[in-house]
Chain A
Amino acid sequence: MKVVKLHEGRSHEWLVFGRDEERPSKIIDTNQYMIKTANHAIILDPGGIELFSAMLAAVVHHVPIQQITHLFASHQDPDIISSLGLWDKTLPHATLYAPWLWEGFLRHFGCNSIKYNPLPDEGKSIRLDDIEIQFIPAHYMHSSGNFSVYDPQAKILMSGDIGAALLPDGAPLFVEDFDHHVEKMRLFHQRWMPSNRAKKDWVRRVRQLDIQYMAPQHGAIFKGKDVNRFLDWLDELEVGTGV
């Protein structure tokens, strides 16, 4: 599994884990993120059960497992968090932040030891040592209970499925040519995102943030001006085209 440092500051680091070459075929590629502070670490969208071993092995290159005290699931999909039952065995004292709406559903993946901290619809902030992590509402983008994660210090927005693209194996981890990349995102957003109203609401919220990197759970990461290009593109895009 490829690991790239997205941010390295005095107080914390952002790491992205993805492009797993050993993942079984027919399984969509996913990006997992970890924020590491002095004493803690949070894994954002830890991924599906099929890549658990690769993910765990990659993580211990950077932190001892005792340091992983928090998990976050943007929504309930299996590629996001079907590994929960195994993380539950690995990190029995950790806390999972996930939408309140999905608690009864997510527990089907196995959550006997980990503490489920349900995120309210309006979102919330937590502190990890010296940094603040904000859970930004992203409901219906695409899941009915859905959150993005924003780190105001590193100026990184982990956007979950928003900004996702279906890319071939070995594709670059960062968007290199936005206009070309748009075509890899169009179908995903039109078909997976159900609501134009929800989309506008999310774009409005996110425009208020200062974002250096927008990091989706599939595909490539947007940096600098491509973030605003993406927001403009999404704002105009007609979604919910499956009916």
Chain B
Amino acid sequence: MPSTPKNSAHFFINAATVAAELSVVLTEAKNISLEAMNAKALVARAGDNVRTFKPITDFMVELANDTIWLVKEINREALVLSRTSLSDLHSADAHERFKQAQARSRTAPFGDTLDPVAQSASHQHHQQSMQLKRHMRKLFELLDEIESRMLAANVVTATSRLEAATAADSYQASLEGIVVKLEKAANRIKHIASKCRHSLER
């Protein structure tokens, strides 16, 4: 994506917005972690009755931990992106102003003394643009990763439903409740990740 003052301005606002949106994902990930603890306790209490649910609770713990780590990474990357896009905006502005000064001083006796400064501003702008692209790519990769984890969570909730249906009656409702909460949290995280992606792609 070419870096122009306009889209840099857009990035530095939206990247900061992404960081803010992610606080909701963090809350949801912590909810998954809590539900995973509940599920573990339930599985321990129920023993052989819900033995097949054990790998699912392990997955939930792993999912919660991974999501929390990913959110922290995305948050860090979004703030870096916000800062980088602001620097890119400044470097684009400086580059433009030096270009204007060069254009206006073509006939000036010392006009050529501007050339090294203008070249340096152009180089800096190019470097900033490259850096911006790198950070953008990294942020999208992290968002991809979180979305793919949530897709996996959807598959697991489908399996969990089947397992819950075959469990003893006294545990069925509790297990189904856990599955529903996991599904809701995964969908909400997926929705926010996709919203973040769209706001960055806009």
Let me know if B105 and A65 touch, CB within 8 A: no
User: B103, B108, B109, B111: which has the most chain A beta carbons within 10 Å?
Assistant: B108
Q: Mark each residue of chain B from 84 to 108: 1 if its CB lies under 8 Å from any CB of chain A, else 0.
A: 0000001000100110111111001
Let me know if B110 and A56 touch, CB within 8 A: no
Q: How far is the CB of B109 from chain A (nearest CB, A)?
A: 6
> A57–B113 Cα gap in the complex (Å)?
11
Binds B, one of A82-90, A167-175, A199-207, A233-241: A82-90
Q: How far is the CB of A84 from chain B (nearest CB, A)?
A: 12
Say yes or no for A188: interface residue by CB 8 A criterion: no
With contacts A60-B110, A86-B97 taken as known, whether A53 is within 8 angstroms of B117 at the C-beta atoms is no
**Residue total for A at the interface (Cβ-Cβ under 8 A):** 18
Q: How far is the CB of B121 from chain A (nearest CB, A)?
A: 6
With contacts A53-B101, A56-B114, A57-B101 taken as known, whether A89 is within 8 angstroms of B108 at the C-beta atoms is no
Let me know if B109 and A86 touch, CB within 8 A: no
Let me know if B97 and A52 touch, CB within 8 A: yes
With contacts A66-B113, A89-B121, A90-B117 taken as known, whether A61 is within 8 angstroms of B97 at the C-beta atoms is no
Contacts of A61 in B (CB 8 A): 105, 108-111
> A85–B124 Cα gap in the complex (Å)?
14
Q: Mark each residue of chain A from 48 to 81: 1 if its CB lies under 8 Å from any CB of chain B, else 0.
A: 0100111011101111111000000000000000
Contacts of B90 in A (CB 8 A): 85
User: B110, B121, B124: which has the most chain A beta carbons within 10 Å?
Assistant: B110
> A69–B117 Cα gap in the complex (Å)?
15
28 sample A-B contacts, Cβ–Cβ < 8 Å, listed by A number: A49-B97, A52-B97, A53-B97, A53-B98, A53-B100, A53-B101, A54-B101, A56-B98, A56-B105, A57-B101, A57-B111, A58-B104, A58-B105, A60-B101, A60-B114, A61-B109, A61-B110, A62-B110, A64-B110, A65-B113, A65-B114, A65-B117, A66-B113, A85-B90, A86-B94, A86-B97, A89-B120, A89-B121
